[in-house]
Structure 1
Amino acid sequence: MKSRFGTATARPQRGSGAQRLRRISAAVAAAAVGLLALVGPAAAAPQAAPAIIPCPYTNFCIYSNPGYTGTMYKLHDCHDYPVAFSGIGSWSNNQTRGTRAVFSNGDGSKYITYPAPSSYPRFDWTPVADIKPC
């Protein structure tokens, strides 16, 4: 084969399709290993979200954390229960339809919940002294 400069040149040899595929596969594998090293093992295994703890029927449930997670107390009987939580938590009213719980604050004020079934995913327990679930 003659080049435009007048000298003979050999046309570059191309590898077979299988050879090219092996080279491409090796390059992709090397890039994947490099990417995994950059990202790290923590990204390869995401952390699971906290499990939501369901409130059984006929109970008023209070949770130490938002989103119905953390420590849960099931309030069933109709009397005052002291609240041991402070900060942001949550509650779920899964009592019989229409039942409301009453929260009493330390200053004597009251908060009456929505009728069952109802819930509140972010509630500040700090001012609440006790709860009567009926």
Structure 2
Amino acid sequence: MKPVIFLLLIVVLGSCKPKTVVPETIAPLVGKWRLEAYESTVNGKKEWTLTSINASTANYILIREDGVLLTGNGQELCCAPAALIVNGKRFEIVPKSAIPNNPMCALVDCIGCATWDIEWSEDTFILNLCVSSSRSRYVRED
């Protein structure tokens, strides 16, 4: 009788779906982010320049649990990186589900970074891109 119960227990446990676990490196970034400011140099000094707060013209990035980056309307982000470095920890982006197609990406010639560097703290992150060393500040949108 014990072998039968043991076999049934193995079958039941084996048929359970694994829970989606968000890796701790990317977990704080999952959600919708709005571009708040970009860094520019004025008279030899770097300063933050605020962007439009108008919701219709704001620039958004969505970050999924698997690290995939999407546009504000949920489509593929053109020239997205293959990995993120979040506060010094590397996270390889491996899509766990389909990425919604963005027809605009066919018109873009990507010369971007394979890795994006993100400095995250609470509800803000600063995105450092390798191309022209540009920096952008994003804030969480709920």
Class of the TM-score when normalised by the shorter of the 2 chains? under 0.3
- Greater radius of gyration (CA): 1
> Which TM-score applies when normalising by structure 1?
0.27
Higher relative contact order at CA 8 Å, sep ≥6: structure 1 or structure 2? 2
> Which TM-score applies when normalising by structure 2?
0.26
Q: Which has more strand, going by share of residues?
A: 2
